[in-house]
Structure 1
Amino acid sequence: MLLSLLQTVQCTSYYLLSIFLLFASFANGQQVKTDSTILAQKQAVINKPEIFEGNRLKVFVDCSNTYCDNTFIRSEINIVDFLLDRIASDVHILITSQRNGSGGEQFQMIFYGQNRFKNTTDTIKYNLDPNATDSESRDLLLKNMKLGLTPFIIKTDFANELNIQMKRPEQKAGEKKNSTTTKDNWNYWVYRVGSSGNVNLDKVYKSNNYRANVSANRTTDKLKINFSIRANSSKSKYEYETTGGTEKFVVKNSSYGFNHGMVVSINQHWSYGYEANFSNSTFSNNKSRIYLSPAIEYAIFPYKLVNNKFLTIRYGVDYTRNTYYDTTVYFKTKEGLTGHNLSANLSLNQKWGNINAGLSYRNYFSDWKLNNLGINLNVNVRVTGGLSVYVYSFGGLTRDQIYLPKGGATEQEILTRRRQIA
């Protein structure tokens, strides 16, 4: 009897324990599983990508370093939400560009994952042909932006909205497949020809201004060469009433010049080169000006990081040979001068904004009081959400205007800026 009672209690305890465990498993949102089932499901969880359900992907496009057609981008990518608040976005796209070796531009897109994608970052680089139109430029930017956003979109409920197509270049019948690099028929040279002009015709004021320029540039990873020719002509005619009747005053100025420069890269930090030019300017009293300056430059950061940050320090010596139209304030009609120049340039393109700053200094060896100091600063920092702080400032201290003609300027010359004034 006692043995039977103990068996009954043991059986009842077993069933009660089983029922308790069953309810406990349901309370945790789970079901009782065998060891093999649990192992299989753990493996499935490991292999399955994390899916973020619900909200659309939130994207912030940062084009502070280059131009983007945001209206076009928003109209072509309509399965994401474009925000003005970078902090609230899931993806922060930082777009920068720099001149490349072919004379075109190299674009870089960094996709910074944030919030639910905080551990995801990707970078896409592509080159834009120097002869590309604005339409081709924005189409290529859109294509690469779509590619970069794909890994983020496939982890949302909108993955089914993607339609990926892959195409290979069409091959004509009998044509052999070419696996070698296409030769540049222009040998990396880029040529540009430009001209512009404007005419104003008022009753008491008439003016015309014409400009023209030609340039040839060759840029590779190791060598950069440039040549340019420019010319400018302007004429202004003023009419005003005086006690003696109508007076007319005419201002004519012209200038032209030839510039040449070369830079040779030694490694990721050092480079050297020179600058040479010849110029003429009636406004600056320069009948002829010959300038030659060899220089060396050091980059604090490697050149390969130029899209995101660079800080360069440049030092050079220079020789200037001037011939003047009129005798200068230093009683010179021609002279040769030697000097040196030092400059530093900083550029930062980061998620929080961008900073561009420059500092330059030069003086003549014959008189260190004849110097020139210039500084500029451009800061654009996003504080929070749609709030940004923008600062632009520049200034200079000019004490090397050795070309100024002696004698004071007339009232008319001051008002019309007929010539360079101290």
Structure 2
Amino acid sequence: MKRRSLTIAAVLLAAALLPNPAEGQTEGDEPRAGALNVYLDCEGARWACQTSHFRTEITFVNWVRDLADSQLHIIMTMEGTGSGDVFTMDFMGRDDLEGNDDQLSYSHSDTDSDDMRTQGITGLLAIGIARYSVLLGQTGPFVVNTPESGERRVELPPGLQGDVDDPWDYWVFRLGGEVEYEDEDLKDERQFSANLSANRTTEMWKLSLSGRGSYTKATGQYSDGTPYEDVREEGSIDGRVFYSLSERWSWGMEAGAATSTRNNQDLSGDIGTGVEYSFFPYRDWTRRRMTLQGLVYARYFDYEEETQFNKMSETVMEGALRWGIGFRQPWGTANLNASAEAYLHDPKKFHRLSFGGRLSIRIARGLEWNVGGSISRIKDQIYIPLADLSDEDILLGRRQLPTDSSLRLNTGFSFTFGSIYNNVVNNRFGYGGGGSRGGGGRGGF
């Protein structure tokens, strides 16, 4: 089904002129007989997955807890752009609406307020849902609650307003900093951090410049009164350029420099280039992806202490192959990643092999199971100091510990049963008051 911005804009304009809630809709959170049953999967949209807000504002449907009870399945995902994010909403009809699939997208700028983003997402979500309510035989008006009762504004979301003049030529700049201080009887800690970035994203090019740094100093004393001091300095600067060669091929280049107390590096620098092949079109990224990357780097290291290989500095070449696949479908999500990296002067001795993934499956009504993990063979820690690590280094995590392998596994399940409807929103005592008896910022209830 073709989707045209002009068509969407017309629908948005019509929706904006519909009667307000007081004129055309009876408020209420009870299940609505004959209303469309909607199941929303928006975990892929991260912070924008504000289900309570959607249920409060879009009240002409029944929100259900389980996919099996729905007539409309919506998958919402999010991708970052150079100046904000774009949200993709895939609408998939079920039961009597089987075969009626659609897709809408909403873009916003980083300069938009949180309320502007939320209202824009909610409005477009409601318009997509309204189409399926009509297909089900319902008649309007389909009203979305507005921030202020009675207020109706004819305002299209960014991306549907036609061409705009951009004096910044797609460049977006960010600056940030933070100071943190903590004082206790036996421990004082202060931390200073700063970051900056510049990004430019177009259909053909993606450019990124970033820098960050932090200084942390902790002082205190052990139980026997012996004082200690822990100082950590971390910093990096990176530049990346990616170019779209074709529908499936991309080329990239990156360079950077860093300093790290934990990794025994006074200074490190690298420059590299590589290509990526996408087995699926990049436009399908939010629903399915499979890519293969081939990269080569030149890396320089200047160490704080002599390494276990009797080096104070060195320059090495590194090659890497990285593969990844991921799916987000009605049955759940699956992601697998594998990589092979090696220093080219002696790849048998200095290399790293990694494999990991996560699977989340809807097994039956209300029953979900997830499993994830990763395993790595690690033979590339050329920066480990020659001198033995002290107990303080190990306990405080001041130094990277030597290891030949790494294994992580996790699994779990959730089972929900009871009423299929999920319309009611009750925000009473939604946030606790002051500190709790146990401390740590938990609410008092």
TM-score (structure 1 length as normaliser):
0.80
Q: CA deviation at 1:397?
A: 2.5
The match for 1:60 among 20, 34, 39 is: 39
Aligned residue for 1:230?
212
In structure 1, distance between residues paired with 2:330 and 2:140 = 30
Q: Distance in 2 between matches of 1:320 and 1:156?
A: 61
1: distance between equivalents of 2:283 and 2:99? 24
Alignment-mate amino acid for residue 87 of structure 1: A
Per-residue deviation, 1:198: 3.0
2:125 counterpart of 1:145: yes
Give the number of aligned pairs.
358
Larger radius of gyration: 1
Q: 1:388 to 1:196 in 2, by over 3 A?
A: farther
The gaps in structure 1 that reach 5 residues or longer are: 1-52, 171-178
Matched residue, 2:264: 285
Instruction: Please say if 1:358 is aligned against 2:337.
Output: yes
Q: What pairs with 1:363-378 in structure 2 (closer than 5 Å)?
A: 363-368=342-347, 369-378=349-358
Equivalent AA in structure 1 for residue 44 of structure 2:
N
SS in 2 for 1:297: strand
After superposition, the Cα gap between the structure-2 partners of 1:162 and 1:276, relative to the gap in structure 1 and judged at 3 Å, is same
Q: Which moved more, 1:388-397 or 1:75-84?
A: 388-397
Q: Which residue of 1 aligns with 2:115?
A: 135
Shift of 1:149: 1.2
Matched residue, 2:292:
313
Equivalent residue runs for 1:95-134 within 5 Å: 95-100=76-81, 102-134=82-114
Pairing 1:191–2:170 present: no
User: Given the superposition, is the C-alpha separation of residues 221 and 367 from structure 1 closer, same or farther in structure 2, using an over 3 Å criterion?
Assistant: same
Pairwise CA distance, 1:166: 9.8
Q: Deviations over 1:72-113 (max 9, x none)?
A: 11111112110011121010011112123x432222111111
Match in the other structure for 1:345: 324
Residue 84 of structure 1: aligned partner = 65
Q: Which runs of 5+ in 2 are unaligned?
A: 1-31, 145-150, 403-445
Identity %: 24
What do the CA deviations read for 1:180-217 (whole angstroms, capped 9, x no partner)?
72221111111111223433322222222222110001
- Residues 198 and 357 from structure 1, CA distance in 2 versus in 1: closer, same or farther, beyond 3 angstroms? farther
Aligned residue for 1:159, secondary structure, equals coil
- Equivalent position amino acid for 2:357 in 1: L
Q: Which residue of 1 aligns with 2:434?
A: none
State whether residues 287 and 324 of structure 1, in contact with CA within 8 Å, keep that contact through their aligned partners in structure 2: yes
2:58, 2:143 within 8 Å by CA — same for their partners in 1?
no
Deviation at 1:240, TM superposition (A): 1.7
Alpha-carbon distance between aligned partners in 2 of 1:119 and 1:417, rounded to the nearest angstrom: 55
1:402 aligned partner: 382
Residues 351 and 207 (structure 1), Cα distance of their counterparts in 2 relative to 1, 3 Å cut: same
Q: 1:163 to 1:411 in 2, by over 3 A?
A: closer
Is the 1:376–1:394 contact (alpha carbons within 8 Å) kept by the matching residues of 2? yes
Is the 1:208–1:234 Cα contact (8 Å) retained in structure 2?
yes
Counterpart CA distance in 1 for 2:385 and 2:187 is: 27
Distance in 2 (alpha carbons) for counterparts of 1:205 and 1:359: 42
Tell me which amino acid in the other structure corresponds to 1:80: V
1:329-340 aligned within 5 A: 329-340=308-319
Partner of 2:255, secondary structure, is strand
Of residues 290, 298, 301, the one that matches 1:322 is 301
SS of alignment partner, residue 212 of structure 2: strand
Task: Give the whole-Å Cα distance in 2 for the aligned partners of 1:180 and 1:152.
Answer: 27
* Partner AA of 1:376 in structure 2: G
| Equivalent residue for 1:209, pick from 191, 196, 210 | 191
**Which residue does 1:274 correspond to in 2?**
253
Residue 167 of structure 1 and its aligned partner are, at CA, apart by 7.2
CA distance in structure 2 between the aligned counterparts of 1:119 and 1:324, rounded to whole angstroms: 61
8 Å Cα contact 1:84/1:385 also seen in 2: no
Alignment partners' CA distance in 2, 1:414 and 1:316: 33
Moved more, 409-418 or 227-236: 409-418
User: What residue number does 1:159 align with?
Assistant: 139
Higher RCO (C-alpha 8 Å, min separation 6): 2
Conserved in 2, the CA contact under 8 Å of 1:266 and 1:272? yes
1:221 maps to what in 2?
A: 203
Alpha-carbon distance in 1 for matches of 2:391, 2:259: 25
